[in-house]
């Protein structure tokens, strides 16, 4: 793929965390470059990192956050500019995941809880 894509992650089934059926109203919208196989493209990210954003959404407005997709070493993070948002959220092996509809991604929330999200949408960003 060329250019940037918007990838939407929605909370999947997490029975141990109190979401036995998941919650499609909670998740993330990520704008990032993907390679031809649907993986994050670190080289393309370096040239467009100011456009690579992360938006956390939830029914609770206090849980909304806008930030950036960050990359350090071999790890990807969600970085927020609000101090009360806590530390960067590491995304478990995000660089290895194929970001395609139906795939799953684990995100370590600021409180340290790891939750699983399902890719629900991938589309070209204009």
Are 10 and 21 in contact by the 8 Å Cβ rule? The answer is: no
pLDDT at site 111: 67
pLDDT at site 2: 55
pLDDT at site 1: 42
Are 76 and 106 in contact by the 8 Å Cβ rule? The answer is: no
Calpha distance 61→104 (Å, rounded) = 25
Q: Tokens 């919650």 correspond to what residue? A: 23
3-state helix, strand and coil shares in percent for the chain, rounded to the nearest 5: 15, 50, 35
pLDDT at site 61: 92
For the chain, give the mean pLDDT. 89
> Beta-strand (E) ranges in the chain?
4-11, 23-33, 53-57, 65-72, 75-80, 89-91, 104-108, 114-124
pLDDT at site 47: 94
Q: Tokens 């070209």 correspond to what residue? A: 124
User: What is the reported pTM?
Assistant: 0.90
- Sign, CA dihedral 91-95-96-98, equals positive
Token pair, residue 66, equals: 């806008």
Residues 31-52 pLDDT 10s? 999 999 999 999 999 999 999 9
Token pair, residue 61, equals: 């407005």
From first CA to last CA, the distance across the chain in angstroms is 13
Segments in the chain below pLDDT 70: 1-2, 82-87, 110-112
């Amino acid at each position: 793929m060329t250019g940037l894509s918007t990838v939407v992650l929605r909370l999947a089934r997490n029975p141990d965390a109190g979401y036995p059926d998941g919650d499609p109203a909670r998740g993330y919208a990520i704008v990032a470059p993907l390679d031809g196989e649907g993986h994050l493209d670190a080289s393309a990210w370096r040239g467009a990192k100011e456009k690579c954003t992360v938006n956390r959404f939830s029914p609770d407005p206090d849980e909304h956050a806008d930030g950036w997709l960050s990359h350090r070493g071999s790890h990807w993070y969600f970085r927020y500019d609000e101090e009360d948002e806590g530390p960067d959220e590491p995304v478990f092996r995000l660089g290895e995941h194929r970001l395609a509809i139906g795939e799953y991604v684990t995100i370590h929330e600021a409180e340290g809880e790891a939750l699983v999200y399902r890719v629900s949408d991938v589309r070209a960003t204009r």
